[in-house]
């Protein structure tokens, strides 16, 4: 775990390849419980990340953006592809991406709650209020 000045105050992130957690500089002066909350949430992201939920929807949305750009740029492509497909495909891809991001946050929270240290739970400190 290391601290980074690049992150927003109170935020954290993780490296998908190494699993290293980075926390915001503002958390240096925070309580131990607050640092653990952020660290466990980011560890939850690391342990629950999935290609289908995080990478595939982003690539799908990028593909529909390219299709929309092609349809706008070339008249021959516009005549070949029905007008509603790029627009509604892009909207669907964005909705799928947002839904996946939200489910990813919920799964990370669930993982953090399940792995929260018992001694902190015994003192009445919970990962999320």
Q: Would the pLDDT of 26 be above 80?
A: yes
- Sequence ranges of the domains in the chain: 2-122
Q: Label residue 129 by pLDDT band (50, 70, 90).
A: very low
- Rounded Cα–Cα distance for residues 67 and 78 (Å): 10
Each residue of 44-94: pLDDT tens digit? Answer: 888 888 777 777 877 877 887 787 788 778 877 777 777 777 778 778 877
Q: Label residue 128 by pLDDT band (50, 70, 90).
A: low
Beta-bridge mates of residue 24: 4
In angstroms, how far is CA 15 from the centroid of its own chain?
A: 12
- Rounded Cα–Cα distance for residues 123 and 83 (Å): 60
pTM for this one?
0.69
């Amino acid at each position: 775990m290391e601290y980074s000045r690049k992150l927003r105050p109170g935020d954290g992130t993780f490296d998908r390849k190494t699993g290293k957690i980075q926390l915001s500089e503002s958390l240096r002066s925070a309580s131990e419980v607050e640092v653990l909350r952020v660290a466990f949430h980011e560890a939850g992201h690391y342990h629950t990340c999935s290609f289908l939920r995080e990478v595939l929807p982003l690539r799908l949305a990028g593909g529909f953006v390219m299709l929309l750009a092609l349809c706008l740029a070339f008249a021959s492509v516009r005549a070949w592809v029905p007008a509603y497909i790029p627009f509604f495909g892009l909207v669907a891809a964005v909705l799928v991406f947002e839904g996946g991001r939200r489910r990813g946050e919920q799964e990370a929270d669930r993982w953090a709650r399940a792995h929260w240290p018992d001694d902190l739970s015994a003192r009445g400190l919970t990962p999320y209020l």
